[in-house]
Structure 1
């Protein structure tokens, strides 16, 4: 919320349990009261349990016509993605596109991973009003971008352009955000494969650490280790006095 332009609103859709859990936060309740955030329930006849069910959910015409109306753009960000507060640009600079997400291939004419993606609702609706995704077929982002890429008058970011939007498999120094995979477990070598690259990301986009499975023992010292560090640091001062 602090990174995106101020006129963007947010929706959290979940189960009874997850909505109740999120609503325990005083800051969340404050954003709801201010009209910045909506807490909604996923209908009982729908599910997001697993990739296939997520694909069915995100290719459902009802979602775009009813839940998201009257929004024209949808920013999807999963728990393994993050928008970088240090980025000098804004999300609004990408509103000319019907779809932009981390490129699967730099040579791609269209497409991009849906884990962190910007989508034009009206263009997706145009696809869904004429075509229906077959169950257990392509993932929703592959299925939608293939059709958006051939939709008359649509504009989808190519591999070179989308590289600047989201870092996932191909390196770019300062993308708008990052997406990993597997809730922070799938780290592609082209982005995370060297200490130099990891340190660059941690400095440029430190909030990305929130999405990663990090061994806190290697980051924060234990009480015993801390006592040893303090003893080492204090002892010379004591002896010299």
Structure 2
């Protein structure tokens, strides 16, 4: 399998046996905060970190490269873990979730060397990074949550043309997820700019419900968004996007 992936733009690295990644999250956190990863293995200054369940929706990584760390914002309305609550109460620029994040190697190495915050099991690696970097005396270590939300949509689910999403289905309504994906560059790259569906679809209903407030009242139809779109919506320039195969206009 290695030959299938190894190439000039892709390097396969064997993780040392001491990091048993099946022991989640303990060993994953240990790997992500190790000198082996940041000093011996990673050689680039700018690291775009993604989990397998991240969806990239548009270009734009370069807009965030002058920060030490940018992750999906964690906001007061949605505090789930008390550690995030404490961190973000202390500093509004409090980092965020690392599933889709940008990290600068030089800042991480400096932080691993100088951070005085004791590592305990209450921390996930992104949480520990966020608090350490927030306390460092460097320029712009962390982005403001409003800007971070444009990299990776946070758990308030405010759609602001994000570069990508991670775990949005855990925090956001289905209609918000459908709207975010259907309004993205990724969707237009796949389906084009001038295509229309030839039948109703569940994602179109969710998109229509989220986008157009005047059609939210129930009509008794199983597809009220589609009915409105076919009757008058298309003449008003509205969209009813589907993720299934669709026919040209």
State the TM-score, normalized to the length of structure 1: 0.63
Equivalent of residue 83 in structure 1, options 22, 36, 56: 56
In structure 2, relative to structure 1, the CA distance for the partners of 1:157 and 1:24 (3 Å cut) is: same
What is the aligned partner in structure 2 of residue 40 from structure 1?
13
> Is 1:130 paired with 2:117?
no
In structure 2, relative to structure 1, the CA distance for the partners of 1:196 and 1:119 (3 Å cut) is: closer
- The SS at the match of 1:46 is coil
After superposition, the C-alpha distances for 1:128-151 in whole angstroms (9 at most, x for unaligned) are: 113475352311111011011111
What is the aligned partner in structure 2 of residue 165 from structure 1?
151
Structural RMSD (CA): 2.6
Structure 1 residue ranges (4+ consecutive) displaced by more than 4 angstroms after TM superposition: none
- The SS at the match of 2:135 is coil
After superposition, the C-alpha distances for 1:60-114 in whole angstroms (9 at most, x for unaligned) are: 1221111002x11111100121211xx3x52112111100011011773221101
Corresponding pairs, count: 171
What is the aligned partner in structure 1 of residue 162 from structure 2?
175
- Does the 8 Å CA contact 2:72/2:153 hold for their aligned counterparts? yes
What is the aligned partner in structure 2 of residue 58 from structure 1?
32
Equivalent of residue 67 in structure 1, options 5, 29, 41: 41
List runs of 5+ in structure 1 lacking aligned partners: 1-19, 208-217, 220-241
In structure 2, relative to structure 1, the CA distance for the partners of 1:197 and 1:127 (3 Å cut) is: closer
What is the aligned partner in structure 1 of residue 175 from structure 2?
195
Equivalent of residue 96 in structure 1, options 46, 66, 70: 66
- The SS at the match of 1:79 is coil
Q: Displacement of 1:48 after TM fit? A: 2.0
Q: Displacement of 1:47 after TM fit? A: 2.3
